[in-house]
Every structure is written in structure tokens, then in C-alpha cells.
């Protein structure tokens, strides 16, 4: 279903989706339960754009049946627009250098992908070795495990802010990155790809790092996450829906409900 965005401008609907724990099952990374809604979207010419913490290298490797011309990776820090890639915020080397300069009481609580071997990435993510190599091929963000206190995390966020970096929490990892987000990446795509009348926007996600994205669109879908971490959407622009199931089953059910409401037929 590799539909072009330009072709779907007349259809008036676009879907932005998180992957892990949302379109992809948290444990198996399968998406079979999402296929009925995905096929319905494809037949209606509605693009489904991945908006994920994964890298562009991982997305290329996975070859998911989603839009491949337009992709948002590394929590919004890397945006593919056709053959071009836009980096929001800081480059990866700047981020890892910032971590290296942290006070030891904070540095000792961070275990990032830069610190991990491929085997450790496999252990903590369940990825294959090939996928883990792609996950370590980063452009603009660093996922990390955190073993410090809440107070120490606030100290880390303060130091990051002084370096024009930010920290967001995903389903498995924290992420250190520039001062952008999935929301700002979606905003950039809508402004640079959709010209004229904006489409009806739908977004789905399961983590706190998806909250801004969900509040920015017309229909924001909260997918229940495996950890039970609440996803709080403040002052949403549109309608917020909680899916009835976790993972791709919830993705499928919620999208059918929204498409029925929008009277999207095939």
C-alpha cells in the first residue's frame, strides 16, 4: 500500500502511527491483527505514515506495508521526505558528546545504545542482530535505560535543556534528543507536503512520547501499553479515543471506528 501523499490529498485523510506497542505487537513485533484496517485504508487511498522512535535504517530493513516516501524516525528528529532527510535538532555525535560530559553521578545511571554492544541491544529490545545493528545506526537521538532517581532525572533534564536537548519517555527507553518531537515533525510534513486544504489527521500511539502528537491531530488514539504507563494528552486539538485493546488489535478496532465515523468507504 505504498500510496503517495500527493495522490491522497483529494481523499482528505492521513494517518500517523507509532510502531512498537501500537502498530507492532509489544512482544512479537507482528502486525497481522492490524491488517483489516490497513487494507481498508489502502483501498481508500489513505496514507499511513510511521512516526516512531526507530531509525530510518530500521524502517528500511523492516519493509513494513506503510508509506515509504514519508517517514518520521527517532521520535521526530529524522524526517524522510522522498529522497531527502531532514534532521531536527542536534546530530547524534553532539548528543553522545553531551552524555560523555555529564557529572559522573548522572552518567553512571545512563546505559544508552552507544554504550551497548549489539548483543545487549538484542537482549533489551528483542530485536534480531541485523535489526539491532540498524537500531544503532542513529542520526539524531539516543535511547537509554535509566537507573537513577526522579530527582536525578530532573537534574539531567535541566542539564540537557542548557545544551538545547530534551528527554522524552517511550515504551521501553528514555530518549535524549534535540528540542523537537513527533508533533513538530508531523507539523513540518503537513506544512511542506500538504499544500492547500489540510487533511483530516489521525494519529495512534501508546507511550508518553506520543501524547503531544495525539493532541495535535483531529483524532488521537491512545493504545493501551504493556507497562500500564498512563498517556496524558493535555488540551487536545481534536478528539481523543482510547482503543479497546493493546497493540495492533486495538489499532485495527480504533481505526475502523474512526473510518466509519468519517464515512470512508472503499
**Would you place residue 107 in the very low, low, confident or very high pLDDT band (cuts 50, 70, 90)?**
very high
Q: How many C-beta atoms surround the C-beta of residue 263 within 10 A? A: 6
What's the CA gap between 264 and 215, in Å, rounded? 22
Residues paired with 142 in a beta bridge: 176
The class (CATH top level) of 5-87+181-262 is alpha beta
What's the CA gap between 15 and 41, in Å, rounded? 9
What's the CA gap between 166 and 175, in Å, rounded? 8
Query: What b/e sequence results for 50-69 when a residue is b if at least 16 CB atoms lie within 10 Å of its CB, and e otherwise?
Result: bbbbbbbbbbebbebebbeb
Average pLDDT in the 258-265 region? 92
Q: Are 103 and 80 in contact (CB under 8 A)?
A: no
Average pLDDT in the 26-51 region? 95
pLDDT digits (tens, 9 = 90+) for 205-216: 999 889 999 999
Average pLDDT in the 64-75 region? 96
Residue 159 pLDDT: 96
pLDDT digits (tens, 9 = 90+) for 148-179: 999 999 999 999 999 999 998 876 789 999 98
**Would you place residue 4 in the very low, low, confident or very high pLDDT band (cuts 50, 70, 90)?**
very low
Q: What mean pLDDT, rounded, does the chain reach?
A: 92
HEC letters along 105-123: HHHCCEEECCCCCHHHHHH
What's the CA gap between 225 and 171, in Å, rounded? 7
**Would you place residue 6 in the very low, low, confident or very high pLDDT band (cuts 50, 70, 90)?**
very low
254: nearest Cα among 17, 72, 51, 11: 17
pLDDT digits (tens, 9 = 90+) for 225-250: 988 888 999 999 999 999 999 999 99
Average pLDDT in the 103-117 region? 97
What is the percentage of the chain residues whose pLDDT exceeds 70?
94
Is residue 255 pLDDT above 70, yes or no?
A: yes
Q: Is 18 a catalytic residue?
A: yes
Is residue 8 pLDDT above 60, yes or no?
A: no
- CATH match for 92-178 among 3.30.70.580, 3.40.630.10, 3.30.980.20, 3.30.1640.10: 3.30.980.20
Which of 11, 18, 139, 187 is flagged as catalytic?
Answer: 18
Q: What residues does each domain of the chain span?
A: 5-87+181-262, 92-178
Amino acid at each position: 500500500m505504498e500510496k503517495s501523499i500527493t495522490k491522497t490529498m483529494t481523499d482528505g485523510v492521513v494517518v500517523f502511527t507509532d510502531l512498537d506497542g501500537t502498530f507492532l505487537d509489544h512482544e512479537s513485533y507482528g502486525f497481522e491483527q492490524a491488517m483489516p484496517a490497513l487494507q481498508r485504508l489502502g483501498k481508500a487511498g489513505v496514507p499511513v505514515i510511521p512516526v516512531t522512535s526507530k531509525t530510518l535504517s530500521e524502517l528500511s530493513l523492516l519493509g513494513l506495508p506503510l508509506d515509504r516516501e514519508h517517514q518520521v524516525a527517532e521520535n521526530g528528529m529524522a524526517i524522510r521526505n522522498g529522497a531527502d532527510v531532514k534532521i531536527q535538532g542536534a546530530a547524534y555525535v553532539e548528543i553522545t558528546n553531551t552524555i560523555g560530559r555529564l557529572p559522573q553521578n548522572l552518567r553512571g545511571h545512563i546505559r544508552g545504545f552507544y554504550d551497548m554492544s549489539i548483543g545487549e541491544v538484542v537482549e533489551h529490545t528483542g530485536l534480531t542482530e541485523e535489526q539491532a545493528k540498524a537500531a544503532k545506526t542513529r542520526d539524531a537521538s539516543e535511547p537509554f535505560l535509566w537507573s537513577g532517581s526522579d530527582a536525578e532525572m530532573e537534574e539531567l533534564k535541566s542539564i540537557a535543556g542548557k545544551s538545547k536537548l530534551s528527554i522524552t519517555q517511550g515504551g521501553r527507553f528514555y530518549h535524549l534528543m534535540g528540542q523537537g518531537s513527533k508533533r513538530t515533525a508531523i507539523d513540518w510534513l503537513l506544512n511542506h507536503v500538504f499544500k492547500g486544504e489540510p487533511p483530516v489527521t489521525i494519529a495512534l500511539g501508546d507511550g508518553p512520547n506520543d501524547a503531544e502528537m495525539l493532541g495535535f491531530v483531529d483524532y488521537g488514539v491512545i493504545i493501551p501499553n504493556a507497562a500500564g504507563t498512563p498517556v496524558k494528552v493535555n488540551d487536545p486539538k481534536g478528539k481523543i479515543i482510547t482503543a479497546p485493546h493493546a497493540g495492533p488489535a486495538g489499532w485495527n478496532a480504533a481505526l475502523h471506528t474512526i473510518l466509519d465515523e468519517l464515512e470512508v468507504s472503499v
